[in-house]
């Protein structure tokens, strides 16, 4: 069997124009699929770097539509749009559900962009990352990623490469989920810097934020800008959204310690970003190191309850099958409880530190209970409800 490599792809511009106009020949589809999903990775790297820089940027300067972080993110988005149009038109590396997820997510993201710009033009500075217009951007990106992850999974043969790349795609999904929570992680440092008499935000930004609520620049105004949501939001989101993402990643990728690897990779990226941002004079954040504790417990529960793929099954065609509903229910309830408990304890320990890298935003610890309930419901839904994500249709000719 001939090994599929991108060396098989055309080298001339004319041939590429022909592919764009008329679609690829069947012989080119495997190599083209490989190249396309490499470009997806490039696009999401650009979008992730842009969003990380963007959050720090907005804690330093007034918003600017043409700011460098926005441009970096836009380049990634343009690549995604081009890939989605091509894949949807010629069914390259997708099935019907992957295509629907990609198109729906990209469409939502593109619709959200003018809505968000209009929101800023009408309302001025958008104080919080939790706004409705921003939510459309996050949700659209989430659907893009689900479509990409599904398309890649069904169009790539089983093996270490598919496992690693799939975990990376779920890592991008985790970063997207946690992006709004970074408002508190940056905000707590921003407020501390202002109290210390050395604000990281420029005067025009603080003045603009204060005037929006009819105040002079004081602690109330700066707190409203830096920490605009209640203290229950952060722990509930980390538990009910971030840990649930890790459960989904562990279930669908299927490799041991998938959740731990994704959480560790994400936190490693946040530490590198912290070094780069502080080294260039941008405001830093406090990464959620407590997330790693919850991730480890998720993986251990999956191992303990053997909620994994059937031994010897073709991973391209099947996903985990229950060995008993009662066992899966017990795994979901117990897993949610211990993962939430580990996250809460780790957050409590992290709270003893107080610095630009270590420490927590304000946390209402009772919110872990509500987040844990959401996690339990989501865990049970993922492992018990047969959905299109757990029953992929036959691969397209490009597989």
Q: At what angle do helices 219-226 and 182-195 cross, to 10 degrees?
A: 160
Specify the pLDDT at position 154: 92
Mean pLDDT per block of 10 residues along the chain (399 residues) reads 56 67 74 91 95 87 75 93 92 91 94 82 66 88 95 92 96 96 91 86 82 82 86 96 97 94 97 93 92 97 69 38 70 95 96 83 95 96 64 42
CA angle 316, 255, 45 (to 5 degrees): 85
Specify the pLDDT at position 390: 45
**Maximal C-alpha separation, the chain:** 72
CB-based burial, 194-204: b 16+ in 10 Å, e otherwise = beeeebbbeee
Q: Which of 37, 232, 216 is nearest to 130 (CA)?
A: 232
Specify the pLDDT at position 123: 64
Q: How far is CA 191 from CA 152, 215, 327, 349, in A?
A: 43, 16, 47, 22
Spatial separation of the C-alpha atoms in residues 289 and 298, rounded to whole Å? 15
pTM over 0.85: yes
Q: Which of 163, 159, 115 is nearest to 136 (CA)?
A: 115
Specify the pLDDT at position 163: 95
Q: What is the C-alpha radius of gyration for the chain, rounded to an integer number of angstroms?
A: 22
Specify the pLDDT at position 392: 44
Specify the pLDDT at position 167: 96
């Amino acid at each position: 069997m001939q090994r599929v490599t991108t060396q098989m792809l055309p080298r001339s511009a004319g041939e590429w124009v022909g592919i764009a106009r008329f679609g690829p020949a069947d012989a080119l589809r495997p190599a083209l699929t490989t190249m396309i999903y490499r470009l997806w990775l490039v696009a999401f790297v650009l979008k992730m770097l842009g969003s990380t820089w963007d959050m720090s940027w907005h804690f330093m300067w007034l918003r600017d539509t043409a700011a460098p972080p926005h441009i970096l993110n836009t380049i990634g988005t343009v690549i995604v749009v081009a890939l989605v149009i091509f894949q949807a038109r010629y069914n390259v590396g997708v099935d019907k559900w992957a295509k629907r997820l990609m198109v729906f997510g990209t469409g939502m993201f593109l619709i959200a962009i003018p809505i968000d710009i209009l929101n800023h033009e009408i309302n001025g500075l958008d104080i919080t990352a939790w706004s409705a217009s921003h939510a459309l951007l996050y949700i659209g990106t989430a659907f893009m990623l689900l479509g990409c992850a599904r398309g890649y999974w069904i169009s790539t043969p089983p093996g270490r490469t598919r496992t690693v790349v799939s975990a990376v795609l779920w890592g991008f999904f985790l970063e997207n989920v946690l992006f709004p929570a970074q408002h508190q992680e940056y905000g707590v440092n921003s407020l501390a810097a202002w109290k210390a008499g050395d604000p990281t935000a420029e005067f025009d930004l603080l003045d603009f934020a204060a005037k929006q609520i009819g105040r002079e620049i004081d602690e109330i105004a700066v707190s409203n800008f830096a920490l605009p949501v209640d203290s229950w939001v952060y722990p509930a989101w980390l538990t009910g959204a971030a840990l649930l993402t890790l459960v989904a990643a562990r279930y669908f990728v299927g490799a041991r310690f998938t959740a731990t690897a994704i959480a560790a990779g994400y936190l490693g990226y946040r530490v590198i970003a912290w070094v780069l941002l502080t080294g260039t004079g941008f405001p830093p954040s406090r990464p959620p190191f407590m997330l790693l504790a919850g991730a480890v417990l998720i993986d251990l529960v999956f191992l303990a309850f053997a909620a994994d793929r059937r031994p010897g099954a073709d991973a391209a065609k099947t996903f985990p099958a229950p060995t008993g509903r009662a066992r899966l229910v017990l795994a979901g309830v117990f897993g949610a409880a211990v993962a939430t408990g580990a996250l809460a304890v780790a957050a409590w320990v992290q709270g003893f530190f107080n610095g630009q890298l270590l420490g927590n935003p304000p946390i209402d610890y009772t919110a872990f209970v509500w987040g844990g309930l959401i996690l339990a419901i989501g865990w049970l839904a993922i492992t018990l409800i047969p959905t299109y994500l757990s029953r992929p249709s036959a691969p397209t000719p490009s597989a």
